[in-house]
């Protein structure tokens, strides 16, 4: 998955909330839907977006659909952020060096 896809899936407050809930452990669709004023179908669609983006894995056992958070997307985002931080830290350090040398 791309970083843009991962972030876009979290761009909706409901989906971000679902990810936060699933960070505490697996949950059924009914459990995920409980805090929201929306139908089970609507929550299922939000979960589908998270599944498509790679954030969530769904398993059906009988009539119960259980969802769990996958760690790989978080690892991918963390790596991307680390790369950006490294780049910008180096660039700003170089700029600081240039500005400091011009002051003297």
Q: Which tokens in the block code for residue 47?
A: 């979960």
| pLDDT (tens digit per residue) in 31-85 | 999 999 999 999 999 999 999 999 999 999 999 999 999 999 989 988 998 988 8
- Rounded CA separation 73/85 (Å): 18
pTM confidence score: 0.79
The three-state secondary structure class of 58 is strand
Domain count, the chain: 1
The CATH number of residue 7's host domain is 1.10.10.10
| pLDDT (tens digit per residue) in 63-73 | 999 999 999 99
Q: Is the dihedral of CA 4, 44, 21, 38 positive or negative?
A: positive
> What single DSSP character describes residue 24?
T
What is the domain range of residue 91? 3-102
């Amino acid at each position: 998955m791309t970083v843009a896809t991962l972030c876009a899936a979290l761009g909706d407050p409901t989906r971000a909330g679902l990810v936060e809930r699933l960070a505490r452990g697996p949950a059924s669709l009914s459990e995920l839907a409980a805090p929201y004023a929306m139908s089970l179908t609507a929550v299922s669609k939000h979960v589908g977006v998270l599944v498509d983006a790679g954030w969530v894995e769904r398993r059906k056992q009988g009539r119960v659909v259980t969802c769990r958070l996958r760690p790989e997307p978080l690892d991918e985002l963390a790596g991307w952020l680390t790369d950006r931080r490294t780049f910008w830290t180096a660039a700003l350090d170089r700029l600081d060096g240039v500005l400091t040398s011009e002051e003297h």
